[in-house]
Amino acid sequence: MSETPEDGAIEPGISVHWREEARIDPPPAFVRQATAHDRKLFETLSSAHFPEGFRRHAALLQWDHPFEAVLDQTNPPFYRWFPGGRLNATVNTLDRHLREARDRVAYYFVPEDESEDITPLTYGELAERVNQLAGILRDRFGCKAGDRITIHLPMVPELPIAMLACARLGIIHTVVFSGFSGKALGNRIVDSESRLLITMDGYYRNGQWLDHKVKADEAYLAAASEGVRLEAVLVFERHPGHYRSASALRDGQDVLMTPHLLDQSRSRIDAVPFESNEGLFIMYSSGTTGRPKGCLHGIGGYLSWVTATSRDVLDLKPGDVYWCMADIGWITGHSYIVYGPLSIGATSVLYEGVPNFPDAGRPWRIAEKLGVEILHTSPTAIRALRREGPDAPHRYHPPFRLLATVGEPIEPETWRWYHDEVGHGKAVVVDTYWQTETGGHLLSILPGLDPMKPGSAGPALPGIEAAIYDTEGRRLAPGSGRAGILAIERPWPGLMLGIWKDPARFRSTYFEPLKRGAQQDRWLYCTHDAAMQSADGYFRILGRTDDVINVAGHRLGSKEIESAALTVPGIAEAAVIPYPDPVKGHVPLLFVATRPGTSASKGISRSVEAAVTESIGPIARPKAVLIVSDLPKTRSGKIMRRLLRALAENQDPGDLTTLANPESVDAIRGILRQMS
Ligand code: WTA
């Protein structure tokens, strides 16, 4: 448990300490062509018109059967958008573009190896490949609406193809980030009770061939040991016809896809319309407890939200060349590489590798070559590219008109480099704040209507009623400049349907934390982020108030890391904190206490590190594993992570008299000094 201060004030890990910056108007050339340029939008989506204003969002989609109401809010917090309406996500992302834009490129697949050709995939070709795979899933494996399929694929065209093949049939896909370990994959297969796993033999990352299929084997066994036996593992080949994994294909488990695809080259699957609130996908995300939560998103509300925000925030228009340099294995990729851009009819770049391979000029080269007008990436990627190639953007001339960021706060210095150097001062910069749970953007400027402000995520989007509360449920005055918890006061269409198989947890995690005092009867969505709002209405995000650690824009649960450490024999206790990092924002710093009889050694640290990467993946690798004799605890026995964090950051740890073991503090200070 993390400790909550008693007096209603909030003490987040302040990850943002910069001062207010002046606002900057977007370039007039941008504003003139922006799709969202009419202030009436704010009126349409104001609280006076709630929820009817969201008809505008639904109108961006093609419905096979009209909805009966905009919102069913009879059973809060289980909101149902556009109930009774029927639609198919792939009609909206594919079929509806085929008449006018069959030959428009949907994805440029850019392999990491620069000598391998870039492959364009048109909307027509994408639709064909989606139908073909949907045919195999239905006819060969008997998959049907409501089933779950886990997808563990790298950044290759097969990934969106597999997602859309599921969506066409109403199968709920659950994509697991390719960097996750076999064990983590196995857990997610178990929780979602998936029938199939879709994977690939391997892929390229950082100039290396990574064997990927071996993780499927591990996951298959892990899931079976917990009673979920996959019916099959579908294995794509990175180079069709050339199987390259060290793990041999196993009878009764693996199905090599290349020959099947040849057999089923011309299948055409009718798109069955589904009710708006049927499940589209599950995306696992970390939270306060050790078990990742399956965030379940629906069809109509989710798709309308990502389509509207792609248009209004990213200014995506049909045919625009756009690159979201994120991984589809996270929510950003789901919403802003797959569903949003395809629903708009844009042309996206799908890049296999890491941004700085083979050098920090690579993204700018790709963007110049393909004519990328809109770029979307994370502050971590921007920091890394800046550090390795501060002048690289000057060697290339991509036609950028909008540069977006997501995932963590972007500090003004990095913002300025993005704006001045990457955008040559000609592109608008948009900082988008949101979460896996929220489906799409919540806070951001509308770049055709609002000024930019470095270091601030921006105001709430039209239709989002954001406010700051203290931990006692008192609403802080708008624009007070005081820190509190960011809450959303009314539902919006992108909000997830719930947590897979766990409605009680959905309610308790997001809607009960702020049910206090005057808010007893309200259903405020708690973001678990600390934030402050300045007088101009712009919000600044200060960091998570729960046990989530944001590493390079990826969400990791403290409990997951600590549980992994505790699997190592001899480890008695573990506590992990986010430690500031110049590129990744934060990295995990792990403290462990050993059992009597186990002495502190390099070997123990290494075993703990290995246990963490094996159980979660290399992204969770701690900066260091520090062995201490005792972790600081309250008298009731809770480990004081907040105190560890203050010590690690060399800040005043505050009153130590309430600790059960104040003597632990000096020892920890000593160990931290050795680390730095
Ligand atoms: C953080 C990613 C500051 C925040 C889309 C949130 C941000 C968590 C921003 C969600 C931003 C996301 N500025 N912090 N623009 N965007 N965050 O679920 O702490 O992977 O709660 O969704 O990332 O991470 P998730």
Domain CATH number, residue 476: 2.30.38.10
Our answer on whether the CB atom of 431 is closer than 6 Å to any ligand 1 atom is: yes
pLDDT for residue 4 is more than 60: no
Q: Average pLDDT of 618-645?
A: 89
Mutate to test the pocket of ligand 1, among 175, 382, 408, 586 (most ligand atoms within 8 A of CB): 408
What is the Cα–Cα distance from 90 to 128, expressed in whole angstroms?
12
Phi and psi at residue 7, to the nearest 5° = -90, 15
pLDDT for res 90 = 98
pLDDT for residue 651 is more than 50: yes
Q: Is residue 279 in some structural domain?
A: no
**pTM (global) more than 0.85:** yes
Our answer on whether the CB atom of 433 is closer than 6 Å to any ligand 1 atom is: yes
Our answer on whether the CB atom of 435 is closer than 6 Å to any ligand 1 atom is: yes
pLDDT tens profile 104-129 = 999 999 999 999 999 999 999 999 99
CATH of the domain at 127: 3.40.50.980
| Ligand 1 centre distance from Cα of residue 357 (Å) | 25
> Any idea which of 80-84, 322-326, 331-335, 515-519 has the lowest mean pLDDT?
515-519
Our answer on whether the CB atom of 331 is closer than 6 Å to any ligand 1 atom is: yes
What is the Cα–Cα distance from 399 to 396, expressed in whole angstroms?
10
The structural domain count of the chain equals 3
pLDDT for res 265 = 67
pLDDT for res 547 = 82
pLDDT for res 92 = 98
What is the Cα–Cα distance from 375 to 321, expressed in whole angstroms?
9
Examine the domain organization and report whether 500 and 592 are in the same domain. Answer: no
Q: Is residue 295 in some structural domain?
A: no
Examine the domain organization and report whether 262 and 142 are in the same domain. Answer: yes
Examine the domain organization and report whether 178 and 259 are in the same domain. Answer: yes
pLDDT for residue 11 is more than 70: no
Final residue of a structural domain among 272, 297, 316: 272
Give me the residue label for tokens 């920890």. 668
| Ligand 1 centre distance from Cα of residue 169 (Å) | 31
Final residue of a structural domain among 272, 305, 339: 272
Our answer on whether the CB atom of 409 is closer than 6 Å to any ligand 1 atom is: yes
Query: Under a CB-based contact definition with an 8 Å cutoff, are residues 294 and 174 in contact?
Result: yes
pLDDT for res 539 = 97
Using pLDDT thresholds of 50, 70 and 90, give the confidence band for residue 289.
low
Counting DSSP H helices and E strands in the chain, the numbers are: 21, 30
pLDDT for res 17 = 58
pLDDT for residue 251 is more than 90: yes
Examine the domain organization and report whether 564 and 643 are in the same domain. Answer: yes
Examine the domain organization and report whether 591 and 528 are in the same domain. Answer: no
Examine the domain organization and report whether 666 and 573 are in the same domain. Answer: yes
Examine the domain organization and report whether 490 and 607 are in the same domain. Answer: no
Our answer on whether the CB atom of 443 is closer than 6 Å to any ligand 1 atom is: no
Q: In which element (H, E) is residue 262 found?
A: helix 257-263
pLDDT for residue 360 is more than 80: yes
Our answer on whether the CB atom of 546 is closer than 6 Å to any ligand 1 atom is: no
Using pLDDT thresholds of 50, 70 and 90, give the confidence band for residue 295.
very high
Q: Higher model confidence: residue 663 or residue 336?
A: 336
pLDDT tens profile 202-213 = 999 999 999 999
Q: Is residue 484 in some structural domain?
A: yes
Final residue of a structural domain among 272, 295, 312: 272
Using pLDDT thresholds of 50, 70 and 90, give the confidence band for residue 652.
confident
pLDDT for residue 444 is more than 50: yes
| Percentage, residues of the chain above pLDDT 90 | 84
Q: What separation in angstroms does the CA of 317 have from each of 11, 287, 288, 289?
A: 42, 35, 38, 40
pLDDT for res 596 = 85
> Any idea which of 284-293, 454-463, 509-518 has the lowest mean pLDDT?
284-293
- CA-nearest residue for atom 7, ligand 1, is 408
pLDDT for residue 496 is more than 80: yes
CA angle 563, 564, 569 (to 5 degrees): 95
Our answer on whether the CB atom of 335 is closer than 6 Å to any ligand 1 atom is: no
CA angle 143, 148, 150 (to 5 degrees): 110
Output the average pLDDT for the chain.
Answer: 93
pLDDT for res 267 = 80
Backbone φ/ψ region at 206: left (φ over 0), alpha (ψ -120 to 50), beta:
left
> Any idea which of 140-154, 218-232, 264-278, 607-621 has the lowest mean pLDDT?
264-278
Residue numbers of the domain that contains 254? 123-272
| Ligand 1 centre distance from Cα of residue 278 (Å) | 26
> Any idea which of 79-83, 227-231, 259-263 has the lowest mean pLDDT?
259-263
Our answer on whether the CB atom of 490 is closer than 6 Å to any ligand 1 atom is: no
Q: Is residue 345 in some structural domain?
A: no
Return the structure tokens found at 442: 């919540």
| Ligand 1 centre distance from Cα of residue 406 (Å) | 7
CATH of the domain at 627: 3.30.300.30
